[in-house]
Amino acid sequence: MARTLPLNASDVTLLSSGVTTGVTSEGGGLLLTEGGGALLTEAPATVQAGAAGGATLSVGPTAQGEIWQAGFTVAVHCSTNVNEATCRIYCGGGVSPAYFIGGTTWGSTGDSSTNTPQMQVGQRVWAVWTGGDPGAEAYLSITGMRTV
């Protein structure tokens, strides 16, 4: 029987595609709840922006049969905003036009969206920052409901 539980973070994949110079990760822990469901309650995923002020983070469902319900919130911000980064959000199989769901010119100051599709294991949320402050920490937070 599927259970619906709050979604508050997930596993983190930090990409080394040349846009990051250093990586830090906060959270990412998993708390098992009664009945085998999983409630993710840790801090947001983080990565340090590279010399050009760019960064990429990715999070997604990992438990067999886990589904993130459509309309979950994706929130982004950076630790500094001398140069205001843009941030593009993708949901699905990767960073490509087919999976683009939105973007913001407030990638450093902070912005969020609930224009998100249902997602399952093998799909991910990708946040791609450009033009921000070199060395700034970029943050990606996910909140919503999931079924396990």
Identify whether 76 is part of a domain.
yes
Give the domain extent around 115.
9-31+43-143
Q: Average pLDDT per run of 10 along the chain, which is 148 residues long?
A: 46 32 29 31 65 89 89 92 94 96 94 94 94 92 86
Identify whether 138 is part of a domain.
yes
Q: For 71-86, how does the pLDDT look when each residue is reduced to its tens digit (9 = 90+)?
A: 998 999 999 999 999 9
Identify whether 37 is part of a domain.
no
Q: How far is CA 24 from the centre of its chain?
A: 14
Domain count, the chain: 1
For residues 103 and 126, the answer to whether their CB atoms sit within 8 Å is: no
Q: What is the pTM of this model?
A: 0.74
Identify whether 70 is part of a domain.
yes
The CATH code of the domain that includes 121 is 2.60.120
Identify whether 148 is part of a domain.
no
Identify whether 2 is part of a domain.
no
